[in-house]
Amino acid sequence: MKAVGICGSDVHYLKTMRCADFIVKEPMVIGHECAGIIEEVGNEVKSLTPGDRVALEPGISCWRCSYCKDGSYNLCPDMKFFATPPVHGSLANQVVHPADLCFKLPDNVSLEEGAMCEPLSVGIHACRRANVGAETTVLIMGAGPIGLVTMLAARAFGAPRIVLVDVDSHRLSVAKQLGADGIVQVSTNIQDVTNEVAEIQKTMGAGVDVTFDCAGFSKTMSTALSATRSGGKVCLVGMGHGEMVVPLTGAAAREVDIVGIFRYKNTWPLCLEFLRTGKIDVKPLITHRFNFSQSEVVEAFETSARGGDAIKVMFNL
């Protein structure tokens, strides 16, 4: 391992010993956003040689169930995913991983950028699920790391206008620097949804074709459903609340489709192509770097958990 990023799920596991329904019951190595250099290969591996720089897709599916056979391997019930209990993650000096989940980095793509393929894959899978294209206006609820990579992915897919919404002014300023066409700062008060929707629609200047909720709270989803045009689509990316109270009937009456995503599938080649060609630049997202020592590991996770000006915290091993 040479580069490992900290994800919000890593922080959840460290602070609460659980993330959603996944519970840590015994010691577990965390980390799943990663890239490294091949040290050894098995006898039957033909695609890789020692010294190759690779980005790792962290989920090993069974390849036998109906989901895997249909191509939806991200939904495999027997998935073994880095740092999802009880599977150890990749914040380690060495890991063993299937060759077909190790993707060679182009010469002009760094190991840190390779590690960023994992969060970027979430945005790319979301854009595929929502059919984002050159005529799709996009609204993104939440300007955290996943909201920002979703914005970068939507732009790479051709979206002509993208508006981001958040409660945090600093995150919105970062979104603007990274190319958002419009930003709207909102409150946490559910009573403000109606007025905020009007401001969002004014900022967009056109109907909202697709909204990505990258936060996953009752208020963000209510805003998404209300702001999206009739016949549009809402993609739920973030999973902040396990249950929500949302204005579903009104959205259904306007034929607003709701789709979910779970991780990603077949995204690493496209991620690397976007990075190679410069259609996506993830480097500005990496705001903090730490070495792999006990004291710096503690500081890195505290930095990530604190938020503030931290977007992506990266370990250099």
Please state the separation of Cα 91 from the chain's center in Å: 18
- Measured CA to CA, the distance from residue 171 to residue 177 in angstroms comes to 10
Cα-based torsion angle of the residue sequence 95, 98, 101, 103 in order, rounded to the nearest 10 degrees: 70
pLDDT at 11 over 90: yes
pLDDT at 90 over 90: yes
**How far are the Cα atoms of 3, 30, 64, 80, 290 from residue 14, in angstroms, in the given order?**
19, 8, 33, 19, 17
pLDDT in tens, 52-85: 999 999 999 999 999 999 999 999 999 999 999 9
The domains found in the chain, sorted by start residue, are 3-120+264-316 (3.90.180.10), 124-260 (3.40.50.720)
Predicted confidence at residue 19, as pLDDT, reads: 86
**Mean pLDDT of the residues in the chain:** 97
Predicted confidence at residue 240, as pLDDT, reads: 83
Predicted confidence at residue 21, as pLDDT, reads: 83
pLDDT at 307 over 90: no
pLDDT in tens, 220-267: 999 999 999 999 999 999 988 889 999 999 999 999 999 999 999 999
Predicted confidence at residue 155, as pLDDT, reads: 98
Listed in sequence order, the residues at least 6 apart from 224 whose beta carbon sits closer than 8 Å to its beta carbon are: 139, 141, 211, 212, 213, 234
pTM of the model: 0.96
Look at residues 198, 197, 166, 160 and name the one whose alpha carbon lies nearest to residue 179: 160
pLDDT-based confidence at residue 30 (cuts at 50, 70, 90) = very high
pLDDT at 121 over 90: yes
pLDDT at 20 over 90: no
Predicted confidence at residue 152, as pLDDT, reads: 98
